[in-house]
Structure formats: structure tokens, C-alpha cells
Structure 1
Amino acid sequence: MRNRFALVLLLLLLVPVFVFAQGGTEKSTSASGNYFDSTVKIIIPYGAGGTHDVVSRKFAEVGSKYTKAPIVCENVTGGDGIVAATLYTKKDRNVKELLTTSYGLWYQKIVKGDAIKLDLDELHPIGTFDDRSYLLYVRANSSYQTLEDLIAESKTREIVCSAGAVGSDAHLCFGGLINQAGGKSRIASYEGGAEQINALINGEVDCFVGTPQVGQQYLETGKVRALTCFKDFDYEGFKDSLGIVVPNCSDAGYPSSAITGGGFLSVRTGADPQIVADVEELMKKVWADPDFRNYTVEIGLNVYEIYGEQLQAHIKEAGVNATAAAKSLGLLK
């Protein structure tokens, strides 16, 4: 009887040790697993239907083919990306979320400085997944047949353009060009490309700066026309389907308005190095998948894939060009 009691007592003493050992093993396994072994959310700081939105959702769809758990998306709008980005920088460094990050965040910070309570050093860009050519659209029935027509009008009155916010990439390219030409313009802010082009079609603004993806269906239905491309090369994405080549602004005499547009995926600065590696590895798989690569071409984006230090250098270069555009616009001294 005593032996049986002693055996039971020994087993009771061993149970906590066994449970502790099991718990330690589970934690170790979780830490060494892939970042995408459980659901990861992509935060989209812009409105539904815009280019950032549709590309992020396509990335999640294709990326989920290579992960154990699904990748989901959530739109968090406000301040042309500033609200979502600021909230994201307050989260845990290993949060199960990625941020769709635009160059426009850097541009707004350049223009507005400390007025924007966003610390860009708290964002760690991983890789590009959206490189865009911004186009200048007007209504098809407007009197502006060319860029020069619109510039001439801007010298008689203030031209209103729908875009994200003052200091955004769209504002810098368009506003800088009009200012350099001696005209006047202002930005009417709307959340996301879908709302911005609807403002043009509804007659609320004179023009709209946006991506080929947002404007394509309206070009096809004859509701808008594209006057110029804010690049140093013509946009030929509509050449085969619509017979349209959009001339670039550099050749028209406005090279400072040819600034980088688009974005990349970011994690929190200080995230576990394995998270950074896992995200970059998945991005490379998604880019190599024809489903994603062909989709970017179909909606008029440029295929441009860079990571790490090369991306950091590209962001820095884009900032230099944006600073020049902001100075030409009079936003910086």
C-alpha cells in the first residue's frame, strides 16, 4: 500500500515537469516556424478599388497558394495612407501584419515634416510589388485636347485636380508641372483612385492623376482621355488594346515631374530577421508566379522587382526627385 502511494506521489510530482517541458517545446516550434504558418493580414491604407487595393488583394490571393494559412486584407483609410501607417508603427515588431507602403508616405513627410506624426524609421520595406506610371486624365468631352491646352487654361484660372493629399506623389507630379509652366492649380483630396476618377467623371474637378489600372475602363468606354504620363518614357500599355500611346512629361519639358510612383510591402523595423527572410522569400515566389506577374501587366503596371538595400537606395533616390518637384511647386524652400 505504501509502495502504491509512493508511486502515485511520484507521478503527481512529475506531471508539472512534463507539462513545462511540453510547453517549452511548443513555444520553440512556433518560434522556428514560417511567418506565414498562421494567418497574416495585409493592411491597405487606401480605398477599395484603387491600385494599391487590387494589387494587394491579388498578392494575397496568389501568395496564399504558397502558405499554410491564408493571407487576408483589410483597408484602413485616412490621410492618404498616413493614418494606417502611423497606427502600424505602434504595433508589436513581430505583428502578423504587413503594410502596403507607398512612396507617397515619404513624399508627404518630405513636404510636411513634423506636421505628420509618422516615424518612417519604424517601417522596414521588404520588396516592391507595384511600380506605376501616373497618367493625367481629363473628361473626354472637355476642351483640353493636349497638355498644353490644360496649361493654357491654368494661366487663366485655378485648375482643380483630384488626388490623395497635398504632398502626395500625384500632387507633386501635377502641381509641380503646372507651377513650372506658370499656371495655378490645387488638389481636391479623395480616398483612393476609384473615388478620385469618379470625381473627374462627375464634373467635380478638371483633371485626375492616377494609374492606368484605374483609368483603363473609362478610356475603353470613351469617358476620359489621357494627356500625359509622368515618366521619362511614353506609356505604351494601351497601345495594343486601344491604339493609344500616352506621351511623357519629360519630353514636353517637365522632367522634374517624372517621379516614382507605386509601393512595396513593409514589416516593422526591428522585426525578427526570420520574418524579413520569410516575407522576401514569399514575395519572390509570388513575382515568379505568372498569375501575379501577368496581372500586373494586364492592369498597366510596370514589372519592377527589387529588395533590401537596392530598394532602400531606390526610395532615397525617389525622395531626391520628389524634393525637387516640391521645390518647383513652392512647397519647400
Structure 2
Amino acid sequence: MNTRRNALHVMAAALAAVPLGALAQADYPNKPVRYIVPFAAGGLTDVMARLVGQKLTEPLKQPVVIDNKPGANANLGADMAAKSAADGYTWLAITLTHAVNQSLFPGLPYSLEKSLTPVAHLATSPLVLVVNASNPARNLQEFLAQAKAKSLNGGSSGNGTPPHLGLELLALNAKIDVQHVPYKGGAPSLNDLLGSQLDFIVSNLPESLPYIKGGKLRALAVTSVKRHALLPDVPTFSEAGLAGMEIENWTGLVMPAGTPKSIVDRVAAEAIKAVKLSDVSERVAGMGFTPTGMGPNEFGAVIQKDVARWREIVKERNIKAN
């Protein structure tokens, strides 16, 4: 009896010596995970988050619940995540937009690089310069000739979004005058381009791809380093004669800063496995994404690079949030 009592005492002492945080990490996860998507349901980031979240439910043995929190140029949901407990139960989907927001909104209540920790870079997609199929411009040079003859109206999915950045970079590098027309999302801007109320959009490829394939829009150039597999006949901007237009929109997963490394590494490993599964990679590739699957360090380097790059462009072009 004494032997058993002594053993129990030893076990209790051993457990008491283990930090509660370490026990929680070993048991992670023991409840559902909240995956905040700071964009509306049905958008590109939302689709990627749902695909990955669904795949991670099985290895983590807990539901991954998508929580759409759009607003304030994707800053509302990001701030909520940044202020959440650093226990691994709050995830956040981010995109290139969040890197740009760091300079576009000087008074942000959170820092992308200090308040959040990178987990996994999931996928990228280029932008594509599109015009209405009725536009006589058949290539980039003919389009630029139009733009130099008169000021053109270019739409975007909103101030500070990748399509807006693509428009500003195009104006900067081609030395043309364009009038930016922001919309509340990619769909309404594309609708006005289809209706000839706009002259062009430097669009997210997954958003405009169906209209390009359907012959309603004409793609003139893509912002990727190489031609895109789904648009093999469309040149890169560099091939078409305009350098400096390389832009890759991306989507990834982050957690609040201070989340234990063991949890970050585990979720990163599972997320990378998920985007490399054939059913996931084939589906997202068909939408215009390229699955990447980078871990925390590589993803952190991407964030740091894009924050610095777009800070300079926002300043030079005097891009405003409103």
C-alpha cells in the first residue's frame, strides 16, 4: 500500500513540475479551432481557408471552424486575431493585402510582423491585365498606346487591394495617367468592365479567369515571372516589354505572436501536407492558384519582403486608403 502511495506521490510531483503550458501543448488541440477569414465568404481567401481547414480537421481530430470577419480592408479580422490568446486555437488567413496595409494604414492597432507569427504560406496567384473583348487593343503595347493617348479608367476590388497595387505599379512603370475606380470587391469591378464602364483591370487571375476563358475579357499580360499554365498564350509583362511588374498575390495562415513553437510547427506541417494533396492542389490550380506550402521561416521572409517593397511604392505613388 505504501509503495503504491509513494508512486502516486512521485507521479503527482512530476506532473506538478511540468508547466501548465507544456501540458496544454502536449494535449493540443482538445477543442475546436477558430480560423478567422477577414474577407467575405465565397472569396478567394475564404475558399483556400475552407479547403485547408477541412483537411486539417482529420489529423488534428478537432473541427476547424471558419469565422468570416470582413471589414476595414481586412484589418478588422486581423486585429481580432492579433488580440486573441496565443494558445493555438485562433488562426488567421492573410494575403498580400495585409502586407500593404502596414504602410497604407499608419495607425493600425496591430503589427503584421510583431503581433502575428507566420505558420504556413499556402498558395500564390498572379494578377492579369484584362480589357473588354471589344477593346481593339490586342496586346500590351497597343493598350499602352491607348493609355498615352488619353487617361484610362482602371477598376479594382478596393483601395490597397492587389488589383489596386497592380494598377498603380502599371502607371508607375509605364509612365501613364490612369484614373483609379475602387469597388467593394472583385466581382462588381469585373461586372463594370464587362459592361464597358471601365477601360481595364489588373485583376486577380482566379477572379477574371472564367471571363477570359469564356471570351468576354482579353488578357494582355500576367504579373508572374513565368507564363501561367492556364494562360499559356498570354505573355508576362516582361516578355511584353514592361519590366518591374512582377506581383504575386498570396494567401497564408498565421497565429497570434507568442503561440508555442511546437503548436506552430505542428499546424504548419499539417497545412503544408494539405495543400500538396492531389485533390486540393488540382482544385486550386484549376482556379488559378499555385500551391506553395512554405513553412514559418520562409513565409516570414515573404511577409518581410512585401511589407518593405510596398511601403516604398505606397509612398512614391501617394496611395491612400480612402
1:322 aligns with 2:313: no
Return the alpha-carbon distance in structure 1 between the equivalents of residues 236 and 278 of structure 2. Answer: 29
**1:136-175 matches, cutoff 5 A:** 136-175=129-168
- Cα distance 1:31–1:235, how it changes in 2: closer, same or farther (>3 A)? closer
Q: 1:85 to 1:78 in 2, by over 3 A?
A: same
Secondary structure, aligned partner of 2:180: strand
- SS state at 2:137 partner: coil
1:138, 1:208 within 8 Å by CA — same for their partners in 2?
yes
Aligned amino acid, residue 111 of structure 2: D
**Structure 1 residues 95 and 278, CA, compared in 2 at 3 Å: closer, same or farther?**
closer
- The residue that corresponds to 1:85 in the other structure is 78
Greater C-alpha radius of gyration:
1
Equivalences, count: 303
Aligned to 2:290, the other structure's residue is in SS state coil
1:119 to 100, 111, 115: 111
CA contact (8 A) 2:275 2:291 kept: no
1:95: how far off? 6.0
Deviation readout 1:158-187 (Å, 9 max, x if unpaired): 323332433433222222212332212233
| More off after superposition, 123-132 vs 182-191 | 182-191
SS of equivalent residue, structure 2 residue 67 = strand
1:32 alignment partner, one of 22, 26, 47: 26
Checking the alignment, whether the CA contact within 8 Å between 2:82 and 2:255 is kept in structure 1 is no
Once the 2 structures are TM-superposed, how far is the Cα of residue 107 of structure 1 from its aligned partner?
Answer: 1.8
Structure 1 unaligned segments of length 5 or more: list them. Answer: 1-23, 240-244
Aligned-pair Cα RMSD in Å: 2.9
Displacement of 1:123: 1.3
User: 1:174-223: per-residue Cα shift (whole Å, max 9, x none)?
Assistant: 22212332212233333443344234224443222333322222123222
Alignment of 1:63-102 (within 5 A): 63-94=56-87, 96-102=89-95
Q: Is the 8 A contact 1:257 1:325 kept in 2?
A: no
CA contact (8 A) 1:133 1:302 kept: no
Q: State the Cα distance separating 1:56 from its structure 2 match.
A: 1.5
Percent identity for Structure 1 against Structure 2: 21
* 1:218 corresponds to: 211
Which residue number in structure 2 is paired with residue 282 of structure 1?
Answer: 270
Per residue, is there more helix in 1 or in 2? Answer: 1
Offset of 1:301 from its aligned partner?
1.4
Give 1:94's aligned amino acid. Answer: D
Segments of 5+ residues of structure 2 without an aligned counterpart are 1-15
